[in-house]
Structures are given as structure tokens and as C-alpha cells.
Amino acid sequence: TYDFPKAEAEAKFEFAMFKEGSCEDHGMITIMDEDTCKKAGAVIDGHPDKIIKVIEGSANLDRPKGCLLHPWKMGSAEKPTEFIRNARLKGCGKYGYQCLCMSKAKAVDL
């Protein structure tokens, strides 16, 4: 049988959200792939169908790198988690963006 509460608790342990510093500052890993970012956003925000917005190009270089969630984009599956691969900042917090990070144990599983 599938124990949803246990699986949900394990998933929440795999991912965390931080307002400042980098994922590595918190002993975790910056999420740098779209699929893992989508899952992290869904788990952290509690919406299994949460969408993701992949941002490319040079217009967002001054934002944190990786998987991000802005506080005003929480609380709805229709408000996207954002993934910015080519940004230059390593820390969270600029413009209110919070970094979604992955545990080192989860990274080994991938």
C-alpha cells in the first residue's frame, strides 16, 4: 500500500526554501534542472500540479540562479515556480526571490 503522509514527509525533507544565502550555505544543493525544480515547487507550495516557468536569456542575470519561488507566487498551482539557469547571483533574497534547494542525499539518488 502507498503511505501518502510518509511519502509527503520524505519529499518535504528532500527540498527546502531559503530567503537568504545560497543553498550550499545551508548544506544543500542548488537545483539546476527543470524537472527537479518543478517537483520542488510542488512539494514546497503543497500543490502537486504547480506549473514552472523557465526563464532564458540575459534579462534576468541579476536574479538568483536555479529554482526560485517568490512569496506572491505561492498558494496556487497556477502561479509558477521559476527556473533561471543562466542568472549570475548565487544567493537568495534579491527582489524577494527565495531559493528552492535539494538535499545532498536526494542529489545522490538522481
Dump pLDDT digits (tens) for 54-76: 988 766 678 888 999 998 899 99
The alpha carbon torsion through 107, 43, 32, 27 (nearest 10 deg) reads: -50
What's the predicted TM-score (pTM) here?
A: 0.81
pLDDT reading at 101 higher than 90: yes
- Parallel, antiparallel or unpaired: strands 52-55 and 81-84: parallel
Q: Are 46 and 76 in contact (CB under 8 A)?
A: no
pLDDT reading at 32 higher than 60: yes
Neighbours of 95 (CB within 10 A): 11
How much is the pLDDT for 51?
A: 94
Q: Which residues contact 21 (CB under 8 A, 6 or more apart)?
A: 91, 92, 93
